[in-house]
A = this chain, B = another copy of it.
Amino acid sequence: MSLTLLNPLDMHLHLRDGEMLANIAKESAHTFCGALIMPNLVPPVSTKEEVIAYKQRIIAAIGDETFTPYMTLFFKPSYDKAFLTSIKDEITAIKLYPAGITTNSEGGVSGFDVEELRPALEAMSELGIPLCVHGETNGFVMDREAEFVNIYEKLAHAFPKLVIIMEHITTKESVAALDRFENLYATITVHHLLITLDDVAGGMLRPHLFCKPIAKRPEDKDALLDAVLSGHPKVMFGSDSAPHPKHAKESCGCAAGVFTAPLALQILAELFDKENAALEHLQAFISGNAQRIYKLNPPAKTVRLKKQSFHVPSDYKGVVPMYAGEEIAYTIEEVNS
């Protein structure tokens, strides 16, 4: 059995910078026609020059013209309409991080005062720039995302024309919020469709499955699966694939992030196949919804997968992927553009 996906898009990808970018970006990009690139470098990507320069470094590292890096800017409340107008053509979205909530997010937003955010968010709304949000409060780790739903709703209500993407959602509360506001959308990772906190800390501690937001409860995973497999039109695939060196994951104080990009399509094919979900839903999840929501028109790229066991490498140049050393049921047969 084989399966062809058209224009796969990863709407939430970390490529990092420097040595990690040079080493691993190619693997992350290979099976996608494009990806939304997260801006949480040190320092964060927050000027036009930085966006252009980072995009050039990405293109140089990947060396594949069939892959488009869709760039994001690190949100600051100080952005005004003149600045946003000047940068509009270089970016696909702006990413908002609450301060200190995840890797390299120290310069993010503290408090969510609508009036403080109004100038920037109204300008984005007028210019048609989507706002991507890492939606976690600084509350108890299992409650952070559900607590943030109030903030999503406040923003969605105050800026009804702003496209707001709830990034890497992990809870039934976030899934439910999708249907309450027209302008709320979401990305979902592959790992949050597969694991719960049980997989991270229910047996032995498994640092390679430790990520932010942390994997939640079984009923949360089920709500995510329901949304994805039933073809919810407002959810898009975003891997949140985040390469860290092996030693940074396996030492005391493990860094947050799961590396899935090179395996995401294979794992999704297996998941949709197992659940007898319609292939059309996978196509919409992996590309169609994102094209519609973000108004993207990527050049053609097709990926053919085959139902044939694939042995996941123990690492990709020192970065340990999800399912390292294990077998998954689908393998990439061909990538064409």
Residues of B contacting A141 with CB < 8 Å? Answer: 197-198, 201-202
Give, as a whole number of angstroms, the nearest-CB distance from A203 to chain B: 9
A253 touches B205 (CB 8 A): yes
Residues of B contacting A214 with CB < 8 Å? Answer: 201-202
Q: Is A304 an interface residue (CB 8 A)?
A: no
Helix, strand, loop or mixed for chain A's interface?
loop
**How far, in whole Å, are A252 and B325 apart by their CA atoms in the complex?**
14
**How far, in whole Å, are A174 and B253 apart by their CA atoms in the complex?**
31
Residues of B contacting A218 with CB < 8 Å? Answer: 140
Give, as a whole number of angstroms, the nearest-CB distance from A60 to chain B: 32
Q: Is A256 an interface residue (CB 8 A)?
A: yes
Stoichiometry (number of copies): 2
Q: Is A210 an interface residue (CB 8 A)?
A: yes
Q: Is A92 an interface residue (CB 8 A)?
A: no
Q: 1/0 per position for A151-192, CB-CB distance to B under 8 A?
A: 000000000000000000000000000000000000000000
List A residues 179-236 near B (Cβ within 8 Å). Answer: 196-198, 200-202, 204-208, 210, 214, 217-218
Q: Is A328 an interface residue (CB 8 A)?
A: no
Residues of B contacting A210 with CB < 8 Å? Answer: 201, 205
Q: Is A142 an interface residue (CB 8 A)?
A: yes
Q: Is A9 an interface residue (CB 8 A)?
A: no
Residues of B contacting A196 with CB < 8 Å? Answer: 140
Given A200-B201, A205-B210, decide whether A217 and B142 contact each other with a Cβ distance below 8 A: yes
Q: Is A251 an interface residue (CB 8 A)?
A: yes
**How far, in whole Å, are A140 and B142 apart by their CA atoms in the complex?**
13
Closest to A208 in B: B252
**How far, in whole Å, are A140 and B210 apart by their CA atoms in the complex?**
17
Q: Is A254 an interface residue (CB 8 A)?
A: yes
Looking at A142, A201, A214, which has the most chain B CB atoms within 10 Å of its CB?
A201
Q: Is A255 an interface residue (CB 8 A)?
A: yes
**How far, in whole Å, are A77 and B256 apart by their CA atoms in the complex?**
44
Q: Is A250 an interface residue (CB 8 A)?
A: yes
Given A200-B201, A201-B201, decide whether A206 and B252 contact each other with a Cβ distance below 8 A: yes
B140 touches A205 (CB 8 A): no
A205 touches B205 (CB 8 A): yes
Partner of A204, one of B142, B200, B205, B253: B253
**How far, in whole Å, are A252 and B251 apart by their CA atoms in the complex?**
8
Residues of B contacting A251 with CB < 8 Å? Answer: 250
Residues of B contacting A206 with CB < 8 Å? Answer: 252-253
27 interchain pairs, CB-CB under 8 A:
A140-B196, A140-B197, A140-B198, A140-B218, A141-B197, A141-B198, A141-B202, A142-B142, A142-B197, A201-B210, A202-B214, A204-B253, A204-B254, A204-B255, A204-B256, A205-B205, A205-B207, A205-B253, A205-B254, A205-B256, A207-B207, A207-B252, A207-B254, A208-B252, A249-B252, A250-B250, A250-B251
Residues of A within 8 A of B (CB): 140-142, 196-198, 200-202, 204-208, 210, 214, 217-218, 249-256
